[in-house]
Amino acid sequence: MEKEKMMKKLTLIVLALTFAACDLEVTNPGPVQDSFLVTEEAQVGVVNGAGRALSAAMNWVSYTGGAISREVTPSGSIGSFGISLRTQEGNLDANETSTHWNTSQRARWMAESGAIKMKEEVYDDYSSNANYAQIL
């Protein structure tokens, strides 16, 4: 019994010291400045980010388009993250699909913006840049 009390006290002391040693302060660095995005080192990240945004956009647009054209049949996937009844009827509701189109426009903007920055800031001969070709 005495040993058990001692272990509990020791555990509490260790936990108290552990939490006292933690610094829970968070510093927000703010938005990334454009000057960091036009460097050669950042190009791969910009290209991959645009590609990821395009993949997300194509996912939603293809899913919704497939539902409207009946290429995708809901087999229990209705409601949240599924095909709504209105979509099954062939009606695109702006409240349900605006995110899909916003995602597509964001992907387009990311690719165009990245290409413009690479063309203007990084290379004089941008046509030989593999990252520039990929983001187009």
Report the pLDDT value the prediction gives residue 54, as an integer from 0 to 100: 94
For residue 117, the enclosing domain spans 32-71+83-136
CA angle 30, 32, 35 (to 5 degrees): 135
Report the pLDDT value the prediction gives residue 77, as an integer from 0 to 100: 63
Does any domain span residue 62? yes
Do residues 90 and 65 lie in contact, with contact meaning Cβ atoms separated by under 8 Å? no
Q: Look over the chain and give the mean of its residue pLDDT values, rounded to a whole number.
A: 84
Residue 78 has pLDDT above 70, yes or no: no
Residue 67 has pLDDT above 70, yes or no: yes
For residue 38, what is the DSSP state? T
Split at pLDDT 50, 70, 90, the class of 91 is: confident
Does any domain span residue 46? yes
Report the pLDDT value the prediction gives residue 110, as an integer from 0 to 100: 93
For every residue of 40-102, DSSP letters joined together read: GGGHHHHHHHHHHHHHHHHHHHHHHHHHHTTSS--SS--STTS--HHHHTTPPPHHHHHHHHH
Report the pLDDT value the prediction gives residue 106, as an integer from 0 to 100: 94
CA angle 35, 41, 46 (to 5 degrees): 75
* Count of domains for the chain: 1
CA angle 82, 79, 100 (to 5 degrees): 50
Q: Based on the number of CB atoms within 10 Å of its own CB, is 38 exposed (0-12), middle (13-18) or buried (19 or more)? A: middle
> What integer is the mean pLDDT of 108-122?
86
Does any domain span residue 117? yes
Does any domain span residue 10? no
Q: Which of 24-33, 77-86, 103-112, 126-135 has the highest mean pLDDT?
A: 103-112
Does any domain span residue 2? no
* Cα 20 to Cα 133: distance, rounded to the nearest angstrom: 52
Does any domain span residue 12? no
Report the pLDDT value the prediction gives residue 17, as an integer from 0 to 100: 84
Query: pTM, whole model, 2 decimals?
Result: 0.67
Does any domain span residue 59? yes
Does any domain span residue 97? yes
